[in-house]
């Protein structure tokens, strides 16, 4: 029998790559779609199948991590073999503006899902999308035993979800795992995260549509990997014999300034001529340096990253240049708000 999976956050960057991976492995994928006044399925439209067709490999269901009853009903009806909880208010800067909402969706949403598994009485395995943001001020390299010191409402909510996942594993013997993923990017990265904001700007500046790029702290150090490789690690965690928690990272550090330099260089531009500082992009509390040690994932899951942050910058710049060219040749360019 083909396996089935339920993915929350299926319309996001990781959800789209994970869906491709699982469909490629023969899974039937169910996605939790939250209601939006405009279409929010752009990243998975290429996988869409007519709802009237029999035997579809991708099925979307309206629900929300804020709605615990909907989650119980969904799990009871679908009885998936695996659940991937990728849904979240995932923007760190925004979490300072919306701390309660972030706590509710990114934190309590996980408990609603874990309780829904219990309430529906199904036998399943669950992956929780934990984050390097939980480490906050802890100095690098960070690994599974590094103590958490989150620096944002988002980081605090992820710590709550992390420990809730561990607690359901210990209390109810649930196969529940945390993937502690460091920053991972791709051409499908949300446009307001710093890497994608930079690579989109390179394309737009080259095309004469934008002159300046406004950014905040350029000194932050991050460990940037390639998202399609990271979703493979998620899947491997749920195939393991025993549930555990794993850091997923490249182990290579780069500053925002270095990424900026490489991305502009890939587009044939000098970032110093275009980048301006805007304090609105600074955070009330910053995470200075995140660099992960993924030795456990390599030893136990056989997972190893391949794409370096420099290659990633070039992949993203090329993709944004091509996407903009296609947009310009076909339709009007929408107003860019930076």
Answer for the pair 145, 245: CB distance below 8 angstroms, yes or no. Answer: no
Residues 240-279 that bind ligand GDR (CB under 6 A): 256
Catalytic residue among 131, 161, 164, 186: 131
Through-space distance between the first and last CA atoms of the chain, rounded to whole angstroms: 48
Q: At what angle do helices 309-330 and 256-266 cross, to 10 degrees?
A: 50
Binding piece for ligand GDR, criterion CB under 6 A, among 19-27, 107-115, 131-139, 200-208: 131-139
Q: Cα–Cα distance between 154 and 130 in angstroms, integer?
A: 11
Residues 158-197 that bind ligand GDR (CB under 6 A): 182-183, 192-194, 197
Residue of 14, 81, 82, 133 that binds ligand GDR (CB under 6 A): 133
283 belongs to the binding site for ligand GDR (CB under 6 A): yes
Catalytic annotation present for 131? yes
Q: Residue 121: count other Cβ atoms within 10 Å of its Cβ.
A: 9
Smaller CB distance to ligand NDP: residue 89 or 152?
89
| Among 220, 203, 285, residue whose Cα is nearest residue 258 | 220
Residue of 220, 238, 294, 317 that binds ligand GDR (CB under 6 A): 220
Could you give the string, one character per residue 12-41, with x where binding to ligand NDP holds by CB under 6 A and - elsewhere? xxxx----------------x-x-x---x-
| Among 233, 101, 109, 125, residue whose Cα is nearest residue 160 | 109
How is residue 252 written in tokens? 């290579």
- Return phi, psi of residue 311, to 5°: -65, -40
Q: Cα–Cα distance between 199 and 191 in angstroms, integer?
A: 9
Mind giving me the DSSP string for 202-269?
Answer: HHHHHTTS-S-EEES-S--EE--EEHHHHHHHHHHHHHSSS--EEEE-----EEHHHHHHHHHHHTT-
| Residues that constitute the known binding site for NADP(+) | 212
- Return phi, psi of residue 11, to 5°: -85, -5
Give residues with Cβ within 8 angstroms of 337, minimum separation 6: none
User: Rounded to a whole number, what is the largest CA-CA distance in the chain?
Assistant: 59
Catalytic annotation present for 133? yes
Smaller CB distance to ligand GDR: residue 117 or 157?
157
Residues 61-100 that bind ligand GDR (CB under 6 A): 90, 92-93
Burial 317-337 (b: 16+ CB within 10 A, else e): bbbbbeebeeeeeeeeeeeee
Residue 283 interaction partner, one of ligand NDP, ligand GDR, none, beta carbon < 5-8 Å per kind: ligand GDR
Residue 105 interaction partner, one of ligand GDR, ligand NDP, none, beta carbon < 5-8 Å per kind: ligand NDP
Smaller CB distance to ligand GDR: residue 45 or 288?
288
Catalytic residue among 16, 90, 130, 133: 133
Q: Cα–Cα distance between 185 and 289 in angstroms, integer?
A: 17
Residue 197 interaction partner, one of ligand NDP, ligand GDR, none, beta carbon < 5-8 Å per kind: ligand GDR
Catalytic annotation present for 172? no
Rounded to a whole number of angstroms, the minimum distance from the CB of residue 232 to ligand GDR is 17
Residues 169-228 that bind ligand NDP (CB under 6 A): 181, 183-184, 190
Which positions are annotated as active-site residues? Answer: 131, 133, 154
Query: Where on the chain is the footprint of ligand NDP (CB under 6 A)?
Result: 8-15, 32, 34, 36, 40, 64-66, 86-90, 105, 129, 131, 181, 183-184, 190
Interface residues with ligand GDR (CB under 6 A) are 90, 92-93, 131-133, 182-183, 192-194, 197, 215-217, 220, 222, 256, 281, 283, 286
């Amino acid at each position: 029998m083909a396996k089935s999976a339920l993915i929350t956050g299926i319309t996001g960057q990781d959800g789209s790559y994970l869906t491709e991976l699982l469909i490629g492995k023969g899974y039937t994928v169910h996605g939790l779609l939250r209601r939006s006044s405009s279409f929010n399925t752009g990243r998975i439209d290429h996988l869409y199948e007519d709802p009237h067709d029999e035997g579809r490999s991708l099925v979307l269901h309206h629900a929300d991590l804020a709605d615990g009853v909907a989650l119980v009903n969904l799990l009871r009806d679908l009885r998936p073999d695996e659940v991937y909880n990728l849904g979240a208010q995932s923007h760190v800067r925004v979490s300072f503006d919306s701390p309660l909402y972030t706590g509710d969706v990114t934190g309590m949403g996980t408990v609603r899902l874990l309780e829904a598994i219990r309430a529906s009485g199904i036998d399943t395995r669950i992956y929780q999308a934990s984050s390097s943001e939980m480490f906050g001020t802890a100095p690098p390299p960070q690994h599974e035993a590094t103590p958490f010191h989150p620096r944002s409402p988002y980081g605090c909510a992820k710590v709550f979800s992390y420990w809730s996942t561990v607690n359901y594993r210990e209390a109810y013997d649930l196969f529940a795992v945390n993937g502690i993923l460091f920053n991972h990017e791709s051409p499908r990265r949300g446009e307001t995260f710093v890497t994608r904001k930079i690579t989109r700007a390179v394309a737009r500046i080259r095309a004469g549509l934008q002159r300046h790029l406004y950014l905040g702290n350029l000194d932050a150090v991050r460990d940037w990997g390639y998202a399609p490789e990271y979703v493979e690690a998620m899947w491997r965690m749920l195939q393991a014999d025993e549930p555990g928690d794993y850091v997923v990272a490249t182990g290579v550090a780069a500053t925002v300034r270095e990424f900026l330099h490489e991305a502009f260089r890939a587009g044939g531009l000098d970032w110093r001529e275009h980048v301006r500082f805007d304090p609105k992009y600074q955070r009330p509390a910053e995470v200075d340096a995140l660099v992960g040690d993924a030795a456990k994932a390599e030893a136990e899951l056989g997972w190893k990253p391949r794409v370096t942050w420099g290659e990633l910058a070039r992949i993203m710049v090329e993709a944004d240049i091509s996407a903009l060219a296609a947009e310009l040749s076909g339709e009007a360019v929408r107003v860019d708000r930076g």
